[in-house]
């Protein structure tokens, strides 16, 4: 997504202060979808998230005269959204700052099932793949084509809130990391952790969908390397 | 960060470690020496190369996967509010 330049912000802000409804409509169309995604991290239902977005836009139109340009307009709007969403979340008794959500989701869970790797004390290949990533059709054939699209959508919908929000903003909405860090008020490191967890879970879901796993016969490979004779042939890949 | 020594087996990270670093690598957030170490591993590891390509494919192909839209009636209502605020 193209970032609003500082001068672009100034033009938009001037137009809003002038009462230019087209400028306001453009802004609403540009940001509302992402705002719903962020609001969903704070409130339990879609309808509640829509209300948060609506309330935020009302605050923006009433408060635009107080915008001082110390952050980008987009960051300012998302800060308001966060405040509104936190208040709404508090009414629903589930209000936590995004950074706390992020912290709670950082459980140190491995990116890939540990059983997919050889043991750390393996003689020749410690910590290497025992079962390779399952191949799937290449992006040219379309990750979003056909049923994979549903698999991915379901995987994202099933993510913990902070991970879901970050992957939606980065990969679905196309924001850059700085924009996400600013809007959600999290550290760059936390942003990367959440993004990594989210993408790896989507990867696992696609892999599970394509099913078959490719197991490497390391025993045979090892035996061959060590000059032993083996009865079975190493699996061809 | 000190220069890493030339490629030695001891310098090679395990795949189980590599899979945790892939997003930092794609984001350009790894220190230079660690990025080179990862790349040397990728040169000889088809499993981690596949893994990296899969995460890169996910990162690059979700645009437009959208089940979110802001309801038109709310949008239009807001714009009407904006207009009436200007006339107030």
CA distance A153 to B54: 17
The answer to whether residue B31 neighbours chain A at the CB level (below 8 Å) is no
Task: Give whole-number Cα distances, B16 to A78, A237, B12, in Å.
Answer: 37, 20, 12
What is the average pLDDT score of chain A?
Answer: 85
Rg (CA), chain B: 24
Q: Half-sphere exposure (CA, 13 Å, Cβ side) for A36?
A: 20
Q: Which of B57, B69, B76 to mutate to test the interface with A (most CBs of A within 10 A)?
A: B57
CA distance A195 to B59: 9
Q: Do A196 and B47 touch (CB under 8 A)?
A: no
In a domain, B56, yes or no: yes
Domains assigned to chain A: 6-95 (1.10.1740.10), 114-225 (1.10.10.10)
Tell whether B54 lies on the interface with A, counting CB pairs under 8 A.
yes
What residue in B sits closest to A62 (Cα-Cα)? B85
Q: Band of the pLDDT at A32, cuts 50, 70, 90?
A: very high
CATH number for B13: 1.10.10
Reported confidence tier of residue A212, pLDDT bands at 50, 70, 90: low
Q: What ranges make up the beta strands (E) of chain A?
A: 131-132, 214-215
pTM score > 0.90 for this model?
A: no
Residue B1 lies in a domain: no
Q: Total domain count for chain B?
A: 1
In a domain, B23, yes or no: yes
Are A225 and A138 in contact, with CB atoms under 8 Å apart?
A: no
- Structural domain of B39: 9-87
Q: What is the C-alpha to C-alpha distance for residues A224 and A217, in angstroms, rounded to an integer? A: 11
- Tell me whether residues B50 and A133 touch, CB distance under 8 A: yes
pLDDT tens digit string along B7-60?
445 678 999 999 999 999 999 999 999 999 999 999 999 999 999 999 999 998
Asked whether residue B16 is domain-assigned, the answer is yes
Is B4 domain-assigned? Answer: no
- Judge whether residue A38 has pLDDT over 90: yes
Residue B2 inside a domain? The answer is no
């Amino acid at each position: 997504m193209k970032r609003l330049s500082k001068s672009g912000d100034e033009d938009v802000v001037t137009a809003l202060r002038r009462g230019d409804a087209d400028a306001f409509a453009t802004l609403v169309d540009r940001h509302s979808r992402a705002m719903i995604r962020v609001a969903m991290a704070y409130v339990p239902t879609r309808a509640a998230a829509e209300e948060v977005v609506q309330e935020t836009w009302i605050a923006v139109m009433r408060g635009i005269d107080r915008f001082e340009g110390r952050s980008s307009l987009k960051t300012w709007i998302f800060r308001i959204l966060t405040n509104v969403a936190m208040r709404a979340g508090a009414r629903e008794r589930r209000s936590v700052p995004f950074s706390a959500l992020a912290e709670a989701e950082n459980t140190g869970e491995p990116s890939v099932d540990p059983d997919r790797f050889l043991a750390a004390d393996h003689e020749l290949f410690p910590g290497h793949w025992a079962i390779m990533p399952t191949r799937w059709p290449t992006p040219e054939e379309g990750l979003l084509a056909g049923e994979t699209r549903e698999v991915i959508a379901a995987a994202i919908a099933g993510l913990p809130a902070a991970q879901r929000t970050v992957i939606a903003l980065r990969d679905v909405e196309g924001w850059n990391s700085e924009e996400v860090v600013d809007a959600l008020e999290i550290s760059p490191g936390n942003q990367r952790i959440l993004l990594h967890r989210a993408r790896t879970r989507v990867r696992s879901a696609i892999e599970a969908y394509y099913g078959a796993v490719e197991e490497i016969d390391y025993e045979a490979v090892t035996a061959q390397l060590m000059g032993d004779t083996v009865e079975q042939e190493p699996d061809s890949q | 960060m000190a220069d890493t020594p030339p490629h030695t087996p001891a310098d090679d990270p395990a795949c189980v470690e590599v899979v945790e670093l892939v997003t930092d690598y794609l984001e350009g957030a790894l220190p230079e020496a660690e990025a080179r170490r990862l790349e040397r591993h990728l040169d000889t590891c088809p499993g981690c190369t596949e893994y990296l390509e899969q995460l890169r494919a996910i990162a690059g192909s979700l645009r437009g996967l959208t089940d979110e839209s802001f309801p038109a009636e709310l949008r239009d209502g807001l714009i009407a509010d904006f207009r009436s605020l200007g006339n107030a």
